[in-house]
Amino acid sequence: MSARTDLLARIRRHESPVGVVGLGYVGLPVAIGFAEAGFPVLGFDISERVVDTLRAGDSHILDIDADRVAGAVGEGRFEPTTDFGRMGEADALIICVPTPLSKTGDPDVSFIIDSTRKVREHLRAGQLVILESTTYPGTTRELVQPTLEESGLEAGEDFFLAFSPERVDPGNPTWHLENTPKIVGGLTPDCHELAVALYAEVLDDVVEVSSPEAAELAKILENTFRAVNIGLANEMAIIADRLGIDIWEVIDAASTKPYGFMRFHPGPGLGGHCIPIDPHYLAWKMKTLQYRTRFIELAAEVNAEMPRYVVARVTEALNAVEKSVKGSRLLLLGMAYKPNVDDTRESPALDILQLLLQKGAEVRYHDPYVDSIALDGKRFESVDLTDEELERANLVIVTTDHAAIDYDRVVRHAAIVVDPRNAVGEREGRATVYPLAGPPTPGRAAGVGVSGPGGP
C-alpha cells in the first residue's frame, strides 16, 4: 500500500493524528474543530501560558468557549503542548501562525519560516503539511517546499504539501470554521487529494483550486477587495462631510438598489490581522515583478489617514465650545479593532489614542473586552463606564462599536460625542453628536459649555 493510499484511508477513518502549529485566533478553532470531528489533535504553541490555559480546560480566545476546550481535553482528543519534538506523531500538520508586516511595510514571514524549520526537523515519510497562514502567492512552493525538502524527502512523493487559507472572522455568530467554504490547492494531484479529503471530514464545503498559488491569491483577493471598497467608502465620507451631507443616509439610500451595489461602511480606519495587512503582501510580491499595484496603494493611503481625520473631527468639536485638544479630558469607547472581540491588532483606536496623546490630551478608555493596553511604554487600564466618567469627559469618541456599550447612557451623560462608527444613530440626549461626516446633531447640552478639567 502506498503512503498516499494509507494516509487517505486513515483520514477517512478519523485515525490520523492532526497537529496544529499555532493556537491563536486561527489555530485554536482549527484544533477544536478537528477534535470535535473525532480526530486526535496535538496543538503546538511556543507560549507556555497559552498551553497551560488550554490544558486546564480554559480558552484564551473569545470565539471558542471554555467548555469546548474542556470537553476536547477531557476526552483526550486535544492535547496542547510546547514540545515541537512531537510533530512526528502527527499524520497531518497544519501551520496557523501570524504573518504581520515588518516596520518597513514588507511581509514578515519569519513565523512561517520558523514553523517550517521545526516541521522539517521532525518530518517523516507519509506526512501531509498544510499552510493556512495568509501570505503572498508563491510562498508554499518557493519557501515552504524547499525548506521541507532539506530533510531529504521529496514533496509529492515522500510527503504531501498544500495551501488552504484561513477564513476566520472573530466575533461572527453566523460563519464559523465548519460552515465557511474552505479553499484548498495542493502542490501535486496526490497532495491536493489528501488535503481535500482531510478538510472534507470536518467542513461542510471544500472549494478546490488548481494550485497553492491560486489558493494564496484567492485569499489576498478577498481582503484586498474589502480594503479597496472600504477605502472608497472612507473617501465618500470625506466628500460627504465637505458637502455637508450625512454619509450614512447616502449609504442607506444607495443600498436600496437590488443589484450592482454592495454596502461597505466607512470608519476610523482599518484594523485586525487581515484587511490592513494582506494587500501589502500582494503589493510587495508584485514589486518583485516590476508592477505597481495602484488601487491597493491608494486604498491603503486613504484608510491609513482615517485616524487623523477622526482627530481633526475631535478638534473641530472642541473648537466649537472654545476648547483645545491639549488639556481636554477625552474618553475613548473601545480599543479592539472591531465590535465584540478582544483583538487590538492594528486597531485604529490605538492610532487615535496615540495622536491625541501627542496633542496633549488626557485620554482614558473603556472597553468591555480589553482590560489593558500598552502604548509607547505606557500602560492604560480600561475604566468603568459610569455616569460620572461620561459627565467628566469633555468629549467621548466611539472608536469601537461594541454591542455591550449602552449608547443611550452615553448620549444622556456625555456633552459631546464623536461617532465615526455610527453607533449612536438617532438617539436623543444631552450630547451634541458629531458623525463621521456631515453636520453635528445638537443635544440638550448644546450652547451651555462643557464640564471637566479645563472646561469653561
Mean pLDDT of 263-283: 88
Mean pLDDT of 21-30: 96
Q: How far apart (Å, rounded) are the C-alpha atoms in residues 313 and 436? A: 8
> What are the angstrom distances between the C-alpha of 429 and each of 150, 318, 369?
67, 18, 26
* Contacts (Cβ under 8 Å, ≥6 apart) of 314: 325, 330, 356, 395, 397, 418
* Contacts (Cβ under 8 Å, ≥6 apart) of 66: 57, 58, 59
> Residue 279's pLDDT is what?
87
Contact (CB, 8 A) for 420 and 229: no
Residue 323 has pLDDT above 60, yes or no: yes
Closest by Cα among 204, 158, 206, 194 to 10:
194
> Residue 454's pLDDT is what?
36
Mean pLDDT of 39-56: 97
Closest by Cα among 140, 119, 302 to 212:
140
Of the chain, the percentage scoring pLDDT greater than 70 comes to 97
Residue 453 has pLDDT above 70, yes or no: no
Q: How far apart (Å, rounded) are the C-alpha atoms in residues 312 and 273? A: 26
Sheet with 182-186: strands ordered across = 78-81, 41-44, 18-21, 92-95, 128-131, 160-163, 182-186, 206-208
Q: Read off the pTM.
A: 0.90
How many other C-beta atoms lie within 10 A of the C-beta of residue 254? 12
Of the chain, the percentage scoring pLDDT greater than 90 comes to 86
Task: Identify whether 274 is a catalytic site residue.
Answer: yes
Catalytic residue (choose from 177, 274, 405, 433)? 274
> Residue 446's pLDDT is what?
57
* Contacts (Cβ under 8 Å, ≥6 apart) of 358: none
* Contacts (Cβ under 8 Å, ≥6 apart) of 135: 99, 107, 109, 112, 216, 281
Residue 235 has pLDDT above 90, yes or no: yes
Mean pLDDT of 382-389: 97
Q: Tell me phi and psi for residue 303, to 5 degrees.
A: -65, -35
Residue 311 has pLDDT above 90, yes or no: yes
> Residue 350's pLDDT is what?
96
- Tens of pLDDT, residues 393-407: 999 999 999 999 999
Q: Tell me phi and psi for residue 349, to 5 degrees.
A: -60, -35
DSSP string, 146-158: HHHHTTS--BTTT
Residue 15 has pLDDT above 50, yes or no: yes
What SS3 class is residue 82? coil
- Tens of pLDDT, residues 423-439: 998 898 999 999 999 89
> Residue 455's pLDDT is what?
37
Mean pLDDT of 93-103: 90
Q: Which domains does the chain have, with CATH numbers?
A: 3-210 (3.40.50.720), 220-304 (1.10.1040.10), 306-435 (3.40.50.720)
Q: Which residue has the cell 468603568?
A: 384
- Tens of pLDDT, residues 52-75: 999 999 999 988 999 999 999 999
> Residue 443's pLDDT is what?
80
Mean pLDDT of 86-110: 91
C-alpha cell at 105: 511595510
Residue 445 has pLDDT above 80, yes or no: no
Contact (CB, 8 A) for 286 and 294: no
